[in-house]
Amino acid sequence: MKLPRGLSEQDLCRRLDRFELETPSWGYADTGTRFGKFFQDAAAATIEEKLADAAAVHGVTGCCPRVALHVLWDFAAGTDPSAVAARAGALGLRIGSINPNVFQDQCYKLGSLTNRDAAVRGRALDHIIESIGLAQRTGSDVLSLWFADGTNYPGQGHIRQRKRWLAEALARVHAALPPGMAMLVEYKPFEPAFYHTDIADWGMAAAFARAAGPRARVLVDTGHHLPGCNIEHIVAFLIDEGMLGGFHLNDRKYADDDLTVGAIDPYQFFRVFQEIVLAEREMGRDLPIAYMIDQSESIKPKTEAMLETVVAAQEQFTRAMLVDHAAAAEARARDDVVMAERALKDAFAADVRPFLADYRAARGLPRDPLDAFRQSGYLARAAADRAPRKRNTTASYA
């Protein structure tokens, strides 16, 4: 593995020590498609089981200390948020982003913060502000916002009025943030709305975030893009504008397919990370980016899919660190397109797996996290413990 000029192996290890990934509670639970849910014996059904799975992933990777929580899915009536945070702490975890839910209830059929009905808009806003209080009680410092709001048919909604409603609401959410809490605004080109989505792309998300206030940033979900979209261009642009707040990492063939990172296009993740590495080297500091995973795997075992994504992200971030940016800059200075590209391709071609295995071993971690997890028998034990309860409570399990 060839290191670029100016980077020592110690530098590389120290940066990897600071590269943390947040796993999502919902990524450990049973999911499916819009046509139905597919059950796995070992999938988590309670917040306690989700935290246990997250702790198992962190235990073999050492880089996933935070867990994202979804308010309506993880905090049933009567649940004490402080107790959830305490349970996470006992497992060596802490609570990451808090995700309000303004798309699930029947009243949101025609929108939440952009609904024509002022009462529905008020209910959605109240829920989001209540989620800020919940975040404070769990120790979270990130409020992650995604809206399913949009329309399916021309004429169904007044697009400019919906924009104004949304901007006004987000400004009120920002005003309710306590000191030290960030607000991330996510975008999505389609689904579930198929004519227009109220926050359809990164530019709209950036405009809403800017209008909301200085602690609002854009959240880039790598799956929320149309085929052929240049995601690293978006990332570079947002970095330069000071508007990149975080990622939801997952892979896709078409859009929002929720696949494990690198399953389709590992080079894309490398290109995204190398834009971040380049910016960090030029600025001389780590960028304040929340690296969060967002996948709802239906086919692979939940925890193993999470491990695949974590390891793939580590590998591509490591490769991005190996880019000889000085050589690329020299090539650009003489308009040598071939060698400028080669600086990236050489780094991407590097086999970083032996280095990462040694890196983990030096920190008391398994050299191969997935293999160690399989050898532990955790999945079989979880299935034996959880499946009987799930069969007793889920009529359509079999």
Say if residue 44 is exposed, middle or buried (CB neighbours under 10 Å; 0-12, 13-18, 19+).
Answer: buried
Q: Which pLDDT does position 55 carry in this prediction?
A: 98
What is the average pLDDT across 126-153?
Answer: 98
Selected from 3.50.50.60, 3.20.20.150, 3.40.50.80, 3.40.50.300, the CATH number assigned to the domain covering 20-393 reads 3.20.20.150
- Name the band, by pLDDT with cuts 50, 70 and 90, for residue 78: confident
- Name the band, by pLDDT with cuts 50, 70 and 90, for residue 302: very high
DSSP secondary structure string for all residues of 201-258: SHHHHHHHHHHH-TTEEEEEETTSS-TT--HHHHHHHHHHTT-EEEEEE-B-SSSS--
Q: Where are the domains of the chain?
A: 20-393
Phi and psi (nearest 5°) for 216? Answer: -100, 135
Q: What is the pLDDT of residues 217-228, one digit of tens each?
A: 999 999 999 999
> Token pair of 243, please?
């508007």
Q: Which pLDDT does position 77 carry in this prediction?
A: 82
Q: For residue 202, what are the contacts with CB-CB under 8 A and spacing of at least 6? A: 187, 218, 220, 234, 237, 238
Q: Among 172-176, 377-381, 386-390, whose mean pLDDT is lowest?
A: 386-390
Does 74 score more than 60 pLDDT? yes
Does 3 score more than 80 pLDDT? yes
Q: What is the pLDDT of residues 346-370, one digit of tens each?
A: 999 999 999 999 999 999 999 999 9
Helix (H) or strand (E) holding 137: helix 118-138
Q: Which pLDDT does position 32 carry in this prediction?
A: 78
Task: Return d(Cα 115, Cα 131) in angstroms, integer.
Answer: 20
Q: What is the pLDDT of residues 30-64, one digit of tens each?
A: 987 777 888 999 999 999 999 999 999 999 999 99
Q: Which pLDDT does position 1 carry in this prediction?
A: 86
Residue 366: asked if its preceding bond is cis (omega within 30°), the reply is: no
Q: Which pLDDT does position 268 carry in this prediction?
A: 97
Does 121 score more than 70 pLDDT? yes
Q: Among 80-84, 294-298, 304-308, 391-395, whose mean pLDDT is lowest?
A: 391-395
- The closest of 72, 92, 94 to 82, measured between CA atoms, is 94
pTM for this prediction: 0.96
Helix (H, G, I), strand (E, B) or coil at 143: strand
- Name the band, by pLDDT with cuts 50, 70 and 90, for residue 386: very high
Q: Which pLDDT does position 394 carry in this prediction?
A: 61
Does 127 score more than 60 pLDDT? yes
Helix (H) or strand (E) holding 70: strand 66-70
Task: Return d(Cα 123, Cα 198) in angstroms, integer.
Answer: 18
Q: What is the pLDDT of residues 79-113, one digit of tens each?
A: 899 999 999 999 999 999 999 999 999 999 999 99
Q: Which pLDDT does position 34 carry in this prediction?
A: 72
Instruction: Using CA atoms of 270, 275, 281, 286 in order, give the dihedral in degrees to the nearest 10.
Output: -80
Does 263 score more than 70 pLDDT? yes
